[in-house]
Amino acid sequence: MPFRAIYFGKDKKIPGYGDGQKVEEGNYIDNRKTGVWKKYFEDGILQNEITYQNSRPNGYAKVYYSNGKLKEEGIWQGNKWVGEYKLYHENGEKYHEFAFNDNGKREGVQKYYYETGKVMIEGEWKEGKESGMVKEYYEDGALKSEKFFNGGALDPASIIVYENEVKEEKPKPEPVGKGVKVEKDEESMSLKEFDGNGYCKLYSRDRQISKDGIFKNNVLVDGKWYKYNKDGILQKIEVYKNGAYAGEAPLPAQ
């Protein structure tokens, strides 16, 4: 007679689980686990989903990371993986993509991946051993090496290693702007006379800081331009870099 079972911490007495925390759930037929059973981490996140027949894992299975993302999936049968199997990085990208024969040994094309999703290694396996050409790739997708195997044994004479000719990207030139001109009523409070070039801090006729930075020919090219309203209250601070507007600086705390 089939019935649904849900087990809690108080039933299983597993360390880390509270009495009311769900541990696992699934169906019984004739007192044997049948179908998909779900198990949970202590915080309630799904830990795995395993298909049972006669209380033994036999069928599709999924295992999850503690953050809830899928870790691995495939057919679990007789305590071994058979058929297609996938293992994932924690970011969700594939890590391994294997194929197993009925004896649980790797057979056919096997692939390993970088966290970016690009292939790292690929080749043929037979009865759990490398068989034929196995290729390895750099993270940018360029071929790194080729190796030939026979029954898991590497043929040293077959090894070919390729250098990765990575093209260096030239830094993009920063935008060049016209900067901010010095107003007639702005002046420096420094004892040194300002000639319109170099670093300087300028003030308005109301003795409020107006520009602070590096000037070239009486133009602010790298620094800050302080803007006030008609009541003399600072409204915003514009930042300039290489003569071009680069954004706003945060206003000082009142």
As a whole number of Å, the CA-based R_g of the chain is 34
Give the architecture-level CATH label for domain 3-161.
Answer: Alpha-Beta Complex (3.90)
Are the C-beta atoms of 175 and 242 separated by less than 8 Å?
yes
The Cα–Cα gap between 62 and 204 comes to: 69
State both tokens at 185: 């009523």
Half-sphere exposure (Cβ direction) of 50: Cα atoms closer than 13 Å: 21
pLDDT tens sequence for the chain (254 residues): 789 999 999 998 888 899 999 999 999 999 999 999 999 999 999 999 999 999 999 999 999 999 999 999 999 998 899 999 999 999 999 999 999 999 999 999 999 999 999 999 999 999 999 999 999 999 999 999 999 999 999 999 999 999 887 655 556 666 677 889 998 888 887 767 788 999 899 988 888 899 999 999 999 999 999 998 888 888 999 999 999 999 998 888 65
Q: pTM, whole model, 2 decimals?
A: 0.60
SS3 state of residue 253: coil
